[in-house]
Structure 1
Amino acid sequence: MKTRIFTGIMLLLLILMAACSTTSRLGEEEILYTGVKKIEITGVDSLEVPGNVKSAIKAPLLVKPNNSFLGAYWRTPFPIGLWVYNHMKPKKDKGFKHWFYEKFAKEPILISGVKPEVRVKVVDDILANYGYFGAHCQYELVYSKKNRKMAKIRYWVEVPTPSFYDSIEFPTPVTPLTELIDSLSKKSLIRKGAQYNLDTLSAERTRITTVARNKGYYYFRPEYIEYLADTTQKPKTVSLRMVLGKGIPAPALNAYKVGNVDVSLSSATGKGQIDSLFYKDLTVVYQKPMHLRKFVLPANITLKPGNIYSVEQQNLTQTNLSKLNIFRYVNLDVTPLDSLKGKDSLDVSIDAAFDVPLESEFEVDVSSKSNSFIGPQITFGVSKKNLFGAGEILAVKLNGSYEWQTGKKPAGAKSSLLNSYEFGLNGTLSFPRVLIPYKMQRKKNRRYPARTYFQLGADLMNRPHFFRMIQFNLSMNYDFQSSPYSFHTVTPVKLIYNKLLNTTSSFDNTLNENPAIALSFRNQFIPTVGYTYTFDRSFGRNGNNRIFWQTSATSAGNILAGIMDLAGKKGEKELFGNQFSQFIKGSTEFKYYRRLWGDNWLATRFLIGAGHAYGNSKVMPYSEQFYIGGANSIRAFTIRSLGPGSYRPPVNDPNGYFDQTGNFKLEANAEFRFKIIGGLHGAVFLDAGNIWLLQKDPKRPGGELQMKTFAKDIALGTGFGLRYDISYLVLRADLGIGIHSPYPNPEKSGYYNMSNFKNSLGFHLAIGYPF
């Protein structure tokens, strides 16, 4: 009864609110804008208008009305902001009513403010920039039948046949600068027969200017290049001529060399006796004491006296010095235009200040892992910068955490207030260069920064009711770039040692019943070498789209096994009395992000990975095997509750989910992310995937990857979630809804085979986005 009364009251309130006017405070000539009715874009003579041109046309025409729906260009049925503005204006500048009005009232967006008559002219100009000269754009107001004070806007755009370049002329090569421009014409972005496009013309000016500034023309600017376009010679053609503009400052037409390079270094305190150092190519004035090795500045300052001045080398110099992580700031100044006085070289002044050498950090936050564990984490670290006087950093971190699992727990799993805890001590020594033998070093100046890392650490992991394990790790990594978007990590050596300190009887039973799991948990060394390639690039007119691709390959024990084979060691091989692992493993992950409109995005991910143990191992170590499910995976299913394949552990086995790992993984995700209000965002998602075994395991029937059962083995889930962005982290809550499980269900023969809706739900709390 009470529920019916409450529902009735809410419906009555909604009806009353809907009846409230949203135009009562408008002036006599003012009309409320309620969105775009329609945009009709047609090409003359059945011309096909490209998608990017249509998007450019729509951009100035699509104006959001009051209370737009999910950031789109149409209104919600309940424009609360307008209701508050029209009916709740306070009489006093204080009190609850005043606060409520200031917080929620929205001033009406008027037709006069949208200015459609100006926007149609903007569209004509945009089409001309794409080569569609003589376009025709018009509009009309579509008034509301219920209220003539409200109107939508309808637009018509007629796109004419485009114009193409008939001839292209570059400046006559009579000066060194025009000769340089003429030499660049062979690789010009502007081609005869191509469609006229203002963006291409602008890009060509930028390209020429970039080359010129790297050839000594430091003061040359893109705006010094002008275009003369004639469209009267032939219909739908453009005769284009590139010229240097008038009034260009004389120094901008001259090429310069590098003059004197002077460096001024301040101590971290700003105090100290002044001293000087003189190198072949630069002079250094510094404050004592200066803990800096002699080769550091010459190796990182790529501007050399007598060389042609290059802006690229200027930027590289500043980047190199900044990436050393020993300076608080680095400023670079060049001889100003008004001080050249006929000089043919540019003097360079570099001003930098050393940063404090010792730095500590203390962090307390909440960690969220891909295995659905969440909990507080404390980290204390100390870093010593410029350890050996060449930008080296020694960092030591002590971390501790405890966590509990979110979402549905695996069937039969025991609960505990303290699900797990972990303590670790790790040290990292990094060098701002690739440490390789001198004879292997490239003589050419590096274009992108690189680092070498040495790591040593130990972690103690406790999993109540199961085991306590300690892990020691030692590794060396090279990190470097080969392009603005390509990143490489090479791991020539990594050694991990896992040792089980103690186990529970329940966990021992699990190991005894499943030899494969027992082998993966044994005390063992894991010697590996690895390589990871990452491509990360944003693109599009405003960088609205992004592609991320990461591929990694790992080889464990193969080099060591090969050496032992050459030494005559046969059979099972050991390192320091413990058997070592031998396997290969690879994975690739592709992510694509696309802005649809406003702050609304489509994010997608595809991941595939495989591993194979052989030689000295029958199975891969447990830590190297694949698992699936959880807050950052298939969110309708909790961690390790899927696979391998259609295998499902006995319901009465509390430790059964230890069996749910595999050596092949496939996963795909799609998520529509939209803004709700302020820092609150929402998402609707679809997740699919599973793990499999590449070899048959009698203990796990149905776990093997087979073509005939592949489609049925793919788990599918959907759901929705909320994200709250508090600038430095994102709090996330997702509710997954299972659609298809790889486990056969005798009661459900169709594709939807979940036992019931309640049991198909998985709720997860997490930090950050899932991908």
Structure 2
Amino acid sequence: MKKNSTKITAFILIAILICACNAVKRVPDGKNLLTKNNIRVNGKSTNDETAANQMYQKPNGTLLGYKLRLNLYNLANLNPDSTYQAKFKKNPGLYERQSKILSAKQVDRLGQSFLYKGIHEFLKSTGEPPVIIDTAKAKKSLLRLKYYYFNNGYFNVKTDYDIDSVGFKKAKINYNITTGPAYLLDSIKTTIKTPALDSLYKTNKEPSILKSGNQFKTADFEEEKNRVTTYFRNHGAYFFQPTYVTYDIDTIGKKNKADVNLIINDNNIQEKDSSRTEPFKLYKISDVNIYTDYSPVNSKSQIKDSTTYNNFNLYSYKKLKYKPRAITDAIFISKGSTFSDTRTTLSSRYLNNLKIFNYPSIQYEVDKRDPTAQSLIANVFLTPRKKYSFGASLDLTHSNIQDFGIGASISETIRNVFNRAETLEISARVNIGSSKDMANPNDNFFNVSEYGLDMKLNFPRILLPFGTEKIIPKRMIPSTSITAGFSKQTNIGLDKENFTGGLSYNWNPKRNNTAKLELLNAQFVRNLNPNNYFNVYTSSYRELNNIASVYNTDPSNLDDDSNLIVSEGTNNFTNQVLTEQTALTPETKEYKDVESIEERRLRLTENDFILATSYTFTKTTKKDLADNTFYQFKTKIESAGSLLTAISNVSSLPKNSNGQYVIFNLPYSEYIKTEFEYIKHWDFGKEKVLAVRSFFGIAIPFGNSNYIPFSRSYYSGGSNDNRAWQPYALGPGSTNASNDFNEANMKIALSGEFRFKIFGDVKGAIFADAGNIWNVLDNVVDTKARFDNLNDLDEIALGSGFGLRYDLSFFVVRLDLGFKTYNPAHEKGDRWFKEYNFGHSVLNFGINYPF
């Protein structure tokens, strides 16, 4: 086997070497393959990406230094049709002989087959033709470079280029840039002809981008132009545009310095064949007209219904279907206010957020009733969406528990339910899937399933009996959601029913900040098949069965193979151990193991009732989908059961035998939970991105609980966590994941990923994931699973690996291969690289990036 591996490796290396030597296969005689653009600034090479982007020609792309796509292209036959026909010309009679065997039509079609043509078309389309040096393009690149450095203050820049041969038919281009000293900004003044604008400019508290002593940069001048324009248009200058801002740059008599004069002339008005100028006017809003059911079809029809509310005029071409306040609350433009682009944008955002209109449009016209011509009429055109809309979907799914699934859902959306822009969404879903981790005695492929019904009623305001405008003003786009849901699932073997309900408030404190207050979040989890526990959690069963093989004294607990019967035998034996009816005593290890198994069984099979309140805050600097330099911070705090405990204490309600208050004959959960997550991305250019994520979460039970419900606990491993372990297969602590579906109430995670382009839409990544879960301040007694002090941080697991991503624009398909680099389940001193091999690796499939 070793010899074969050596031969295969040698063959691959030889093949790569041959292809590499043949990189100039399609480079014509007298021409050169471009291998590098070398930009030298004042005699030194630079890695300035912006300067590199000025090139009209760039070398062929590489994968780890190897020109894979170029060599694929070189392997292709560029004229497969001619080659196929030439075969018959060289062999007279061959065509006739093959036609007798196949038929003339089949012989012709053979030339279009994948073997003769398709493979070459594939190689051409996947590959990349050689980039041959073009001196005309080199001169254009040089001119671009000159402009680039000139626009950065190097007014005396000098440029030239030369071509260096680096091998047979290969060469690089050296772009030589001599910048000279950079010019700095000296005096800065303004000349603004319109007195109203001049006054506005002087009262603007936001500092100018242009500052004396700064290096001259054209980008700064553009940014200042946009800053001034935004300020003026937010303070009434409706007709002002960036083109009215010009600059006079004076370098005469200055040594490497430039005086700047920002000039704003009066408004230029075109009138038929002539033009005139007049000072800019600052406009106020004289009327706000809202057309609630506008469409191009009825735009010339007569208004049939109208009303006035809080100085807003509402019009309808049919009967008005909205309570006026539902619409006017979304409009930030008010009668008597100064024209402002910000108010216009905010109104559009709010109207879009209502989800009952298509593409709201806000237009302005000069009010001809005003003799000073300084008033605007704001016209808001709203096109309603259909009141009822139906949706259906069919999906292939993959989750932490489900390896493969087929899901279907139907939904109905009802808009403007109570005539105040509310939306009601009702959906039903069903999913069947396959999981190799599930108990599957009948060996069925589809061994997991789920169906459910959900309802969500959304109000575009804070729904409380008192006003909240002073705390959460409408510019924060507040909303209220009331939800309810039911689901039944057989995906962990205990066959659960899940009832949920909630009341939450959402708002945006700032443009990129979101806040959510879940005033009430109720969940009732009912286990339908708790006696199936040991068929699902087989690790626990094996451990208990091994102990019973030595200490069991009751033959009725065993089957014919001397194994514990599920569930009569397991329950009886556990009870006999814990009531000291066997040879085991509380001081023995086996007794503690049985105690731990029973504690976990009770925790995972008991029904749960959770009534929680939580607050979530998220802040991000991400501007759009293409932004790869940003950070995101998210924090959440959740409290469960405290309200019920307060009511129980005041009401002096009785407790059960375990000292717990109950509701619906069920002890409710009581805990406090908090989470922190921070994500940061750095863009290094050329589609190279470094992304890191850190997470810390802890849930502490108290009062009515001594553990955290399974649905609110943490797990580790999986495609969006530590990718060297399967989901639920890491931790807690150094326990070697002895249980099935391992979970705990504290989690630490830290991940880093370097992403880079391979070719086309295929990206690559190298990653490292660290973290683990632990039990803390709950009823778990296993010291290996607990976090007792900072020394337990040495149980943080480390996984590393690499992956591929394929960008489909609307989502990214991801494959990651993770290797266990540091495994805390092993003994100390034997944890590094113990399982760092393909046999213990984990292949993860995911949709979109992990963070």
TM-score bracket for the superposition, by shorter chain length: 0.7 to 0.9
1:596 aligns with 2:684: yes
After TM superposition, give the deviation of residue 228 of structure 1 in Å.
1.7
Distance 1:385 1:269, change over 3 A: farther
Could you tell me which of 740, 750, 775 is aligned with 1:657?
740
1:69 aligns with 2:62: yes
Could you tell me which of 486, 507, 525 is aligned with 1:458?
486
State how far apart, in whole Å, the 2-side matches of 1:714 and 1:177 are. 61
Could you tell me which of 604, 609, 612 is aligned with 2:697?
609
- Describe the superposition over 1:238-294 as per-residue Cα deviations: whole angstroms up to 9, x where unpaired: 322111147734477221222343333437996898503131534443232442112
Paired residues for 1:48-67 under 5 Å:
54-61=48-55, 63-66=57-60
8 A contact 1:141–1:154 mirrored in 2: yes
State how far apart, in whole Å, the 1-side matches of 2:5 and 2:79 are. 29
1:83 aligns with 2:74: yes
1:129 aligns with 2:151: yes
After TM superposition, give the deviation of residue 743 of structure 1 in Å.
1.0
After TM superposition, give the deviation of residue 693 of structure 1 in Å.
1.8
Q: Secondary structure at the match of 2:697?
A: strand
State how far apart, in whole Å, the 1-side matches of 2:502 and 2:724 are. 37
Could you tell me which of 606, 616, 619 is aligned with 1:535?
619
Quote the residue 1:143 is aligned against: 165
1:430 aligns with 2:432: no
State how far apart, in whole Å, the 1-side matches of 2:442 and 2:756 are. 37
Could you tell which deviates more after superposition, 712-721 or 415-424? 415-424
Could you tell me which of 341, 354, 358 is aligned with 1:328?
358
Distance 1:303 1:86, change over 3 A: same
8 A contact 1:90–1:101 mirrored in 2: no
After TM superposition, give the deviation of residue 17 of structure 1 in Å.
4.4
Percent identity of equivalent pairs: 23
Q: Secondary structure at the match of 1:641?
A: coil
Q: Secondary structure at the match of 1:323?
A: helix
Letter in 1 for 2:832: Y
- Describe the superposition over 1:442-484 as per-residue Cα deviations: whole angstroms up to 9, x where unpaired: 39963242321000111212246x4122121110111110111
After TM superposition, give the deviation of residue 220 of structure 1 in Å.
0.5
Quote the residue 1:255 is aligned against: 282
Distance 1:630 1:7, change over 3 A: closer
Quote the residue 1:653 is aligned against: none
Quote the residue 1:744 is aligned against: 826
TM-score (norm 1): 0.86
Which structure ranks higher in relative contact order (CA pairs < 8 Å, sequence separation ≥ 6)? 1
Paired residues for 1:617-628 under 5 Å:
617-628=705-716
Could you tell which deviates more after superposition, 377-386 or 126-135? 126-135
Quote the residue 2:841 is aligned against: 761
- Describe the superposition over 1:497-555 as per-residue Cα deviations: whole angstroms up to 9, x where unpaired: 12222221626659982315523542232111001111122269973323222111111
Letter in 1 for 2:664: F
Quote the residue 2:573 is aligned against: none
1:735 aligns with 2:763: no
Could you tell which deviates more after superposition, 638-647 or 501-510? 501-510
After TM superposition, give the deviation of residue 585 of structure 1 in Å.
0.7
Could you tell me which of 181, 200, 221 is aligned with 2:241?
221
1:317 aligns with 2:319: no
Letter in 2 for 1:741: N
Paired residues for 1:389-428 under 5 Å:
389-405=419-435, 417-428=445-456
1:523 aligns with 2:600: no
Count how many residue pairs are aligned between Structure 1 and Structure 2.
747
Structure 2, unaligned stretches of length 5 or more?
86-110, 270-276, 538-566, 571-593
Quote the residue 1:204 is aligned against: 224
Quote the residue 2:507 is aligned against: 480
State how far apart, in whole Å, the 1-side matches of 2:478 and 2:807 are. 32
Distance 1:58 1:372, change over 3 A: farther
Bigger Rg over Cα:
2
Could you tell which deviates more after superposition, 673-682 or 529-538? 673-682
8 A contact 1:251–1:337 mirrored in 2: no
Q: Secondary structure at the match of 1:125?
A: helix
After TM superposition, give the deviation of residue 393 of structure 1 in Å.
0.8
Quote the residue 1:489 is aligned against: 516
8 A contact 2:158–2:178 mirrored in 1: yes
Quote the residue 2:28 is aligned against: 26
Paired residues for 1:492-511 under 5 Å:
492-503=519-530, 504=532, 506=534, 509=570
Distance 1:492 1:371, change over 3 A: same
Could you tell me which of 161, 167, 171 is aligned with 2:187?
167
Q: Secondary structure at the match of 2:850?
A: coil
Could you tell which deviates more after superposition, 55-64 or 360-369? 55-64
After TM superposition, give the deviation of residue 2 of structure 1 in Å.
9.9
1:573 aligns with 2:674: no
- Describe the superposition over 1:581-601 as per-residue Cα deviations: whole angstroms up to 9, x where unpaired: 111111111222333334443
After TM superposition, give the deviation of residue 431 of structure 1 in Å.
0.8
Could you tell which deviates more after superposition, 615-624 or 363-372? 363-372
State how far apart, in whole Å, the 2-side matches of 1:339 and 1:726 are. 54
After TM superposition, give the deviation of residue 716 of structure 1 in Å.
1.2
After TM superposition, give the deviation of residue 91 of structure 1 in Å.
3.5
Quote the residue 1:35 is aligned against: 36
1:710 aligns with 2:737: no
Could you tell which deviates more after superposition, 672-681 or 196-205? 672-681
Could you tell me which of 286, 305, 312 is aligned with 1:276?
305
Letter in 1 for 2:305: S
Could you tell me which of 304, 308, 324 is aligned with 2:338?
308
Structure 1, unaligned stretches of length 5 or more?
651-655
State how far apart, in whole Å, the 2-side matches of 1:601 and 1:613 are. 40
8 A contact 1:124–1:134 mirrored in 2: no
1:193 aligns with 2:213: yes
8 A contact 1:43–1:159 mirrored in 2: no
8 A contact 1:487–1:534 mirrored in 2: yes
Letter in 1 for 2:62: F
After TM superposition, give the deviation of residue 666 of structure 1 in Å.
0.9
What is the RMSD of the two structures over their aligned residues, measured on CA atoms? 3.8
- Describe the superposition over 1:652-677 as per-residue Cα deviations: whole angstroms up to 9, x where unpaired: xxxx224x222211111222333444
Could you tell me which of 677, 680, 687 is aligned with 2:769?
687
Q: Secondary structure at the match of 1:176?
A: helix
- Describe the superposition over 1:152-171 as per-residue Cα deviations: whole angstroms up to 9, x where unpaired: 12344455444333221123
Distance 1:759 1:337, change over 3 A: farther
Letter in 2 for 1:126: Y
Quote the residue 1:720 is aligned against: 802
State how far apart, in whole Å, the 1-side matches of 2:675 and 2:258 are. 51
Could you tell me which of 745, 750, 759 is aligned with 1:668?
750
Could you tell which deviates more after superposition, 438-447 or 472-481? 438-447
8 A contact 1:168–1:241 mirrored in 2: yes
Could you tell me which of 116, 121, 139 is aligned with 2:138?
116
Could you tell me which of 188, 196, 201 is aligned with 1:176?
196
Distance 1:123 1:267, change over 3 A: closer
Distance 1:604 1:186, change over 3 A: closer
Distance 1:411 1:325, change over 3 A: closer
